[in-house]
Amino acid sequence: MINKTIANAREAVKDVFSDSVLMFGGFGLSGIPENSIRALLEKDLNGLTCISNNAGVDDFGIGLMLKKHMVKKMISSYVGENAEFERQLLSGELEVELLPQGTLAERIRAGGAGIPAFFTPAGVGTEVAHGKELREFDGKLYLLERWIKADFAFVKAWKGDTAGNLIFKGTARNFNPMMAAAGKITIAEVEELVPAGELDPNQIHTPGIYVQRIFQGEGYEKRIEQRTVSGK
């Protein structure tokens, strides 16, 4: 069985190039590839197109890449927690494609499944539909959406093995598995890396066939975007 283990995040991102298209797994700040993002920040990159459900926060995640002006375009569905993102958008420094969350998820899934386009009712009659084909099915209008693929997909799993099989925990399962399938090169960082054969096959969420590189991460902060507690 092929051993896909690499030493660390720096080795994982060594061939990422300017103007490339990158996917980042996670939901909010849950399950984001923290180690890979830190390694990317050390490189002299620009003109990146970043695909992520959200844009991180100002001092964490993709927000740090935005602050360093590495990102040319963001494709996301929720960006409300990042003031620098807002500033760059309003100033015209950053190109942004905002999508309904389900549309974003399905476009990524389609990219991994080899489906070039599909029709959805989400976005009909809104700015999302601008420049896109509309077609009627059974008396209802649907919008044509194209697949999304990436040069590199960065995902973060709870546990993985040396063959690249991955298990995600909780909310981290929302976008990571579909992004793993949609990257030409998928790089997985995991909290725990085990030898091939130790994972229960029935528990695996992403088969190793989709993963080209895997390493054990460290120093995960596991932040929460907004913490709300009672006054009691």
CA pair distance 86, 82, nearest whole angstrom: 7
32: closest CA among 218, 220, 229?
Answer: 220
Inform me whether the pLDDT recorded for 127 exceeds 70.
yes
Residue 210 has a pLDDT of 97
Mean pLDDT value of segment 62-89 = 90
CA pair distance 162, 183, nearest whole angstrom: 19
Q: How far is CA 154 from CA 26, 143, 157, 160, 229, in A?
A: 9, 29, 10, 14, 32
The lowest-confidence range among 18-27, 76-85, 144-153 is: 76-85
Inform me whether the pLDDT recorded for 101 exceeds 90.
yes
Helix (H) or strand (E) holding 189: strand 183-194
CB-hemisphere CA count at 13 Å for 138? 2
**Domain 9-118+149-216 class in CATH:** alpha beta
Per residue in 45-55, pLDDT (tens digit) is 999 999 999 88
Residue 225 has a pLDDT of 67
